[in-house]
Amino acid sequence: MQILIDECLPKKLKQEFVEYSVFTVQEKGWSGMQNGELLNEAENEFDVWLTADQNIESQQNLNRFDIAVVVLVAPQNKLEVLLPLMPLLHDVLKNIQPKQLIYIEP
């Protein structure tokens, strides 16, 4: 599985996915792209886009893109705040399908 981590999330979150192929938006050179453009690029290479953008559903028609979107819902986008969500996220990743939108929250 190929996972893309959005630039709004800490880069160190990548360390939580040793069993997957994971890149950050910054590593791909896609920093600053608007979400629609980013999803357009990402769907060709990735299975899942991981973000903290809780408004993504109202900003984009996600059914247009052949990629699953997982939104981490937390009061802050700091690594120590997001780490407790990782067990739930790993469970979700086991069965996630293209075009799914899933919110992970405590």
Return the pLDDT at 35.
86
Euclidean distance between CA atoms 66 and 84, whole angstroms:
28
Cβ pair 25, 11 in contact under 8 A: no
Return the pLDDT at 58.
81
Q: Report the DSSP beta bridge partners of residue 63.
A: none
Return the pLDDT at 24.
97
To the nearest whole number, what is the mean pLDDT of the chain? 94
pLDDT digits (tens, 9 = 90+) for 19-70: 999 999 999 999 999 888 999 999 999 999 999 999 888 888 888 999 999 9
Q: What is the mean pLDDT of residues 14-20?
A: 93
Euclidean distance between CA atoms 23 and 27, whole angstroms:
6
pTM of the predicted structure, to 2 decimals:
0.94
Return the pLDDT at 10.
97
